């Protein structure tokens, strides 16, 4: 035979086709997972640095894909974000997280004059830039009956810089009374000075800063906390894993902390049990 096998271009074509097919298959599986109840939320407590109190939770999605076991969010959220599927996913998370917090408030009511825990939900950039987001949030607030201030919407800084539509929607969301947090702060290109103009309530410092041993990073964290406070923002430190980090954050006046040192993301049952324990003491 003249040809000894397939050409490079043919092989490349096949690889590309296989990747596209795999992606389409994953998209279909995510969509099916949403309708079939394969998704669940875990809740990572956020703690008040000064008094150890659980001040709120972040809802984190988990997917048990049939035949694949648990799939990590980083392995399917980016695929969902490539299409409007992410809006369906966000909507499901919003609905479930607010329903859960409303249930916890009913079952474990707070004593008078004690602050209520908040629920933070990750909103993807695509959904935030979509007109549907404002109605979606209004719908879950109405369905759950939650005070809007207890819902925290986590958005990334790039979204605020790149998409004017997202900024308009954010204003409308805050007008509903929800709180907004910048997630993963420090990983994008926002300068500390730009914080002044950001229509947000809370800053979450990315865990790459908190866990870093690089010279100058501790000073940078202290600076970010100080600047954020100057602009009236509350600060959450993400990814706290070491006691020394917590000591330092307390000295820097950081408001809240989240990380494996304090609590791992918990199942709904474990997070509810934690709340019951806190409420009964
Ligand atoms: P994120 O919003 O920055 O969420 C925090 C991630 O850090 C979570 O990973 C959490 O388990 C992990 N984490 C918490 N404490 C520590 C710590 O002390 N050390 C370390 N190394 N990691 C810690 P997870 O649950 O795998 O989520 C990864 C990302 O997936 C999230 O990053 C978020 O961008 C996205 N994601 C998760 N759930 C949702 C969701 O419901 N909707 C959307 N749109 N995105 C989600
Ligand atoms: Ca987040
Ligand atoms: Ca984060
Ligand atoms: Ca992230």
Ligand index nearest the alpha carbon of residue 154: 2
Ligand 1, atom 43: closest residue by C-alpha: 122
| Residues 158 and 125 sit within 8 Å (Cβ to Cβ) | yes
Atom of ligand 1 at shortest distance to CA of 74? Answer: 30
In this structure, the residue with its CA closest to atom 7 of ligand 1 is 239
Predicted confidence at residue 3, as pLDDT, reads 62
How would you write the pLDDT of the chain (281 residues) with one tens digit per residue? 556 788 888 888 999 999 889 899 999 999 999 999 999 999 999 999 999 899 999 999 999 999 999 999 999 999 999 999 999 999 999 999 999 999 999 999 888 888 899 999 999 999 999 999 999 999 999 999 999 999 999 999 887 777 888 999 999 999 999 999 999 998 887 888 888 888 899 999 999 999 888 888 899 999 999 999 999 999 999 999 999 999 999 999 999 999 999 999 999 999 999 998 887 76
Q: For position 281, what pLDDT does the model report?
A: 64
Atom of ligand 1 nearest to the CA of 265: 11
Pocket of ligand 1 from Cβ distances under 6 Å: 44, 59-61, 72-74, 77, 90, 93, 122, 124, 183-184, 207, 239-241, 258-260, 265
Cα-to-centroid distance, 122 and ligand 2 (Å): 5
Output the six-digit token pair for 272. Answer: 């509810």
Cα 279 to Cα 55, 76, 147, 250, 260, distances in angstroms: 12, 36, 19, 24, 22
Best residue among 98, 122, 126, 136 to mutate for probing ligand 1's pocket (most ligand atoms within 8 Å of CB) is: 122
Sort 206 into a burial class: Cβ within 10 Å, 0-12 / 13-18 / 19+: buried
pLDDT score recorded for residue 142: 98
Q: What is the ipTM of this complex?
A: 0.97
Looking at ligand 1, which residue's alpha carbon is closest to its atom 46? Answer: 122
The total of other beta-carbon atoms located within 10 Å of residue 177's CB is 12
Please tell me the predicted confidence (pLDDT) of residue 212. Answer: 86
For ligand 1, atom 3, name the residue with the nearest CA: 184
Please give, one letter per residue, the 3-state secondary structure of 214-268: CCCHHHHHHHHHHHHHHCCCEEEECCCCCHHHHHHHHHCCCCEECCCCCCCCECH
């Amino acid at each position: 035979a003249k040809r000894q096998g397939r050409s490079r271009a043919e092989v490349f074509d096949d690889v590309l086709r296989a990747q596209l097919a795999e992606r389409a298959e994953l998209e279909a599986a995510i969509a099916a997972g949403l309708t079939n109840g394969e998704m669940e939320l875990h809740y990572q407590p956020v703690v008040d640095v000064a008094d150890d109190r659980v001040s709120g939770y972040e809802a984190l999605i988990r997917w048990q894909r049939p035949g694949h076991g648990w799939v990590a969010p980083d392995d399917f959220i980016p695929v969902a974000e490539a299409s409007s599927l992410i809006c369906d996913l966000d909507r499901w998370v919003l609905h479930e997280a607010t329903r859960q917090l409303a249930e916890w408030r009913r079952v474990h009511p707070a004593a008078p004059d004690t602050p209520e825990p908040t629920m933070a939900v990750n909103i993807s950039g695509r959904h935030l830039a979509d007109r549907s987001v404002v109605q979606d949030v209004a719908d879950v607030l109405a369905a759950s009956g939650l005070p809007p201030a207890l819902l925290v919407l986590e958005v990334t800084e790039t979204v605020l810089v790149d998409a004017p539509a997202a900024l308009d929607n954010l204003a409308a969301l805050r007008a509903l009374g929800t709180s907004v947090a910048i997630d993963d702060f420090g990983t994008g290109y926002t300068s500390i000075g730009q914080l002044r103009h950001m229509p947000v309530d809370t800053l979450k410092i990315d865990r790459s800063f908190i866990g870093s041993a690089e010279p100058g990073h501790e000073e940078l964290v202290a600076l970010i906390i100080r600047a954020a406070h100057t602009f009236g923002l509350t600060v959450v430190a993400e990814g706290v894993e070491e006691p020394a980090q917590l000591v330092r954050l307390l000295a820097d006046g950081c408001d809240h902390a989240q990380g494996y040192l304090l609590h791992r993301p918990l199942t709904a049952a474990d997070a509810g049990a934690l709340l019951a324990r806190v409420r009964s003491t």
